Structure 1
Amino acid sequence: MPRLDDDHTGARIKEQRKLARLTQRQLAHLLPYSYSLLNQVECGAKPANLDFLAAVAHALRIDVTVLTGQPYVTELQQDRLAELVRPIREALDLYDLGADDTIPDRPAEQLIASAEDLCAQVRATRLRNAARLLPATISELTTAAWRNPSTELWQALASTYRTAHDIAVKLGYYDLSSVALDRMDWAAQRASDPCLAAIRQYMRALVYFREGEYTIGQRLVTAGHAIVGAAEQTREAMAVTGQLHLGASVIAARADQQSAVDTHIAEARQCAKATGDASDVHWLSFGPTNVALHKMSAAVEMRQYDEALKQARKIRIPAGLATSRRAHFLIDRARSEMETGRTEAALGSLIDARHAAPEQTRYHPGARETITGLVHLSRRTPDTLGHMAAWIGL
């Protein structure tokens, strides 16, 4: 059976466990998982799923990226993406410096259109191009908003900060994503936009979801509901409300709260009936299809893999769905296929995800762990799987 090198996720868990002065049995006692699974993960015989990693990180009181090894510096450098991160970090630090006299005026409608285009590029998973254009757009919008403050310019600036968060998350720079969310809140307050403020709470909740802090995540979703609930109940507000319920559903699933999952999915479905396809609202991809995708994701998070595949077979992905959501669906399906012994189908789903969104798939922790799992399960690694493993840096 193929084995990975000593720098795999299980080896990092073992190292951090020892630093915490815990035996395997002591750590297993702190987890909602068995001693046997922990032992298999540490020795590299079984991959660590994202919920397992979150639970270990929470128990050891460390950042989950310490265990995943993100960011993937070598692959990022090969793809020439690492060099694009520093300019984004610098642009995020301009927020309180006022207007830059070296930046010429550009019509507000052009700047707003640039912010919208960046959102579209991220949803199409063109991360490299979006990351390249983002710093200049943030700089221009920051100066424009200080020179001629308006709701529309502050909203557009908040949108670029949200794009910075999205790119940072997809590349594994979670510290940078938190800074971007703080900036988004700063701009949303100046725009007096409750929907943007609620979306920011939703994104903060997902940060804690990744870290295994489900109670804090649920509180942030509740805070988001309070913000949007006090606003005028427009279609936009309804879509944001529905998306908050979808975020709450996967957090509840990770916390193994089936009844809460069912409640949030039902509430989101009601919102989707009222809004229809609301992909045009803040680039949330909200609508009936996204409700179905989150119901499947919740089943995956609760390790109900047969149920997740049953749901996956019923989902018909519309042509207009954001590429990022399509790729996420394929990665979820691949995990479920691997966990139910359908290894060839799992590899096929990952190949489809790579074709649809190569940059997103290469840096997605779920895709990497599933490929790792397939390597462990294969007595002889097929050429296609070998190529995929090499491509993600195993």
Structure 2
Amino acid sequence: MAHRREAGCYGEDNADSFGSRGALPLCHDRSVPEPIGRRIALHRRRRGLSQVAVAGLVGRSESWLSQVERGLRDVDSYTALRDLARVLRVDIATLTATGEASQPERSVRDVDVAAIERALLIGTAPEEMPDVVAAVPELHAAYQAARYDEVLAALPSLIAALEGQHSGLTAAGYTVAAKMLTKIGSHDLALIGADRAWYAARRSGEQADVGMAVNQVVCALLPTARAVLAEELAVEMATRLDGEDPAVLSVAGALWLIAAVAAARRIDAAAAEERLDHARQLADRLGEDANHRWTAFGPTNVAIHRVSVAVEVGDAPAALAAAAAVDLDRLPEGLHSRHVQVQLDIAWAQAQRRRDAEALVALLEIERAAPQVARRNVVARDTIRQLLARARGTNGAAVRGLAHRAGVAV
């Protein structure tokens, strides 16, 4: 069975999902990037680790890793790719043979994040302190509209304004900071922001505030070595939240959706489906597609996560079928990041199936609808890198153009 991909804060098995590729020839053109399996084997041996050890650390079987290293199957999960890079202590770009092209973009992102890092760790004194009451909902709206540059630019001043305050609004402010940092892959800083949101929420005492903050702690932890803890937190808090208040229902539903993604990353399709069902029941009780506590929770977001879960498990056909059933027109206005999530999942799924033309179409649609997703979202960037590494023929120019506009290629 072919297992599947990673994702962000969000599978299934299918023999045709992201399927096996067949053995690679012993001799190959050195102008073609070294196959990913050989790079994984090389870095594993450099670290002196056995296949059993590495497979266990990334939550996969020794047989799976052996097949990957021998070129019999792809690393069909972004989560698995990210976890392999972490265990082997290399960048994802090193494993995907796009290291040189990715260096300039990383330095650009570092410049963007530096001011936020200083605000979180040292404290800053901006020339003009924002009005927190207005700024927090405005930045949540900008984030959900995928205006990520705007959010990144405003966060240092907002964090300074939040310093020393304790309220539901403070929790929401740190939450949007953690969301943005998670989106661009700065998971260490995201966890700091999420932890501060949790602290402020506990001081406020509101169920929905606490759940919202825990939701973001889970999102920050999930892409790290503490994914097991993240999953436990999500299930525990989703189970604890109770009542018919729309905000509480929405936050509980969002937590069940994250828990479903976490189960999918462990290739536990049954648990993922059960948690999706919990979320669907809460969406039915809510009775609409809403955006309480900036969760975008409702029946449509449950349907969107069904696509993400199928992608996480590695069932590309199921992901594409689920995507066809999503009615994005039902979402509240302004949720561009939710609109493009389906296309992002499709792009990743098609890239893992090496259907690069279809993946490129999905990425171009993302760029058209929300250009900053292509430039800022870590999964989008890694998908573009994959296409760029094997760009050939008629699609090559289009892929290189997209990579250049997204800052993935120099």
2:136 is the alignment partner of 1:115: yes
1:204 corresponds, among 207, 211, 217, to 217
2:271 is the alignment partner of 1:260: yes
Contact 2:194 2:220 in 1 (8 A): no
2:375 corresponds, among 362, 372, 379, to 362
- Residues of 2 paired with 1:105 and 1:388: CA distance? 37
1:142 corresponds, among 155, 163, 179, to 163
2:45 is the alignment partner of 1:18: yes
Paired AA for residue 124 in structure 1? A
Give per-residue Cα distances to partners, 1:288-335, cap 9 Å, x unaligned.
110001111111111110111111112121262611122222110112
- Residues of 2 paired with 1:203 and 1:274: CA distance? 23
Displacement after TM superposition at 1:287 (Å):
0.7
- Residues of 2 paired with 1:61 and 1:181: CA distance? 27
For 1:35, the equivalent position in structure 2 comes to: 66
2:78 is the alignment partner of 1:50: yes
Structure 1, unaligned runs of 5 or more: 146-152
- Residues of 2 paired with 1:372 and 1:65: CA distance? 10
Paired AA for residue 138 in structure 2? D
2:113 is the alignment partner of 1:85: yes
For 1:245, the equivalent position in structure 2 comes to: 256
2:243 is the alignment partner of 1:222: no
Displacement after TM superposition at 1:49 (Å):
3.3
Displacement after TM superposition at 1:73 (Å):
5.9
Go from structure 1 to structure 2 and tell me whether the alpha carbon gap of 1:138 and 1:25 turns closer, same or farther (over 3 Å shift).
closer
Displacement after TM superposition at 1:351 (Å):
0.7
For 1:277, the equivalent position in structure 2 comes to: 288
* 1:118 aligned counterpart, secondary structure: helix
Go from structure 1 to structure 2 and tell me whether the alpha carbon gap of 1:270 and 1:385 turns closer, same or farther (over 3 Å shift).
same
Contact 2:75 2:81 in 1 (8 A): no
Matches within 5 A, 1:312-327: 312-318=323-329, 320=333, 322-327=335-340
Go from structure 1 to structure 2 and tell me whether the alpha carbon gap of 1:325 and 1:161 turns closer, same or farther (over 3 Å shift).
same
Displacement after TM superposition at 1:126 (Å):
1.4
Displacement after TM superposition at 1:29 (Å):
7.5
- Residues of 1 paired with 2:30 and 2:401: CA distance? 14
For 1:389, the equivalent position in structure 2 comes to: 403
2:184 is the alignment partner of 1:171: yes
* 2:317 aligned counterpart, secondary structure: helix
How high is the sequence identity, in percent, across the aligned residues? 24
Structure 2, unaligned runs of 5 or more: 1-28
Contact 2:155 2:177 in 1 (8 A): yes
Contact 1:248 1:264 in 2 (8 A): yes
Displacement after TM superposition at 1:217 (Å):
2.4
Paired AA for residue 337 in structure 1? Q
For 1:149, the equivalent position in structure 2 comes to: none
Go from structure 1 to structure 2 and tell me whether the alpha carbon gap of 1:19 and 1:247 turns closer, same or farther (over 3 Å shift).
same
- Residues of 1 paired with 2:271 and 2:250: CA distance? 20
Displacement after TM superposition at 1:349 (Å):
0.3
- Residues of 2 paired with 1:9 and 1:127: CA distance? 31
- Residues of 1 paired with 2:346 and 2:175: CA distance? 27
Contact 2:145 2:334 in 1 (8 A): no
- Residues of 2 paired with 1:346 and 1:82: CA distance? 28
For 2:146, the equivalent position in structure 1 comes to: 125
Contact 1:300 1:308 in 2 (8 A): yes
- Residues of 1 paired with 2:107 and 2:228: CA distance? 36
Displacement after TM superposition at 1:40 (Å):
4.0
- Residues of 2 paired with 1:93 and 1:364: CA distance? 24
For 1:337, the equivalent position in structure 2 comes to: 350
Contact 1:46 1:373 in 2 (8 A): no
Displacement after TM superposition at 1:250 (Å):
0.9
1:74 corresponds, among 86, 104, 109, to 104
- Residues of 1 paired with 2:177 and 2:240: CA distance? 23
- Residues of 2 paired with 1:192 and 1:63: CA distance? 42
* 2:292 aligned counterpart, secondary structure: coil
Tell me the TM-score normalised to structure 2 length.
0.77
Contact 1:242 1:268 in 2 (8 A): yes
Displacement after TM superposition at 1:91 (Å):
2.5
Go from structure 1 to structure 2 and tell me whether the alpha carbon gap of 1:160 and 1:63 turns closer, same or farther (over 3 Å shift).
farther
Greater Cα shift, 342-351 or 207-216? 207-216
Contact 1:289 1:317 in 2 (8 A): yes
Go from structure 1 to structure 2 and tell me whether the alpha carbon gap of 1:48 and 1:373 turns closer, same or farther (over 3 Å shift).
farther
Tell me the TM-score normalised to structure 1 length.
0.80
1:353 corresponds, among 347, 350, 366, to 366
Give per-residue Cα distances to partners, 1:175-201, cap 9 Å, x unaligned.
111111121122112222222222222
Greater Cα shift, 60-69 or 356-365? 60-69
Contact 2:82 2:92 in 1 (8 A): no
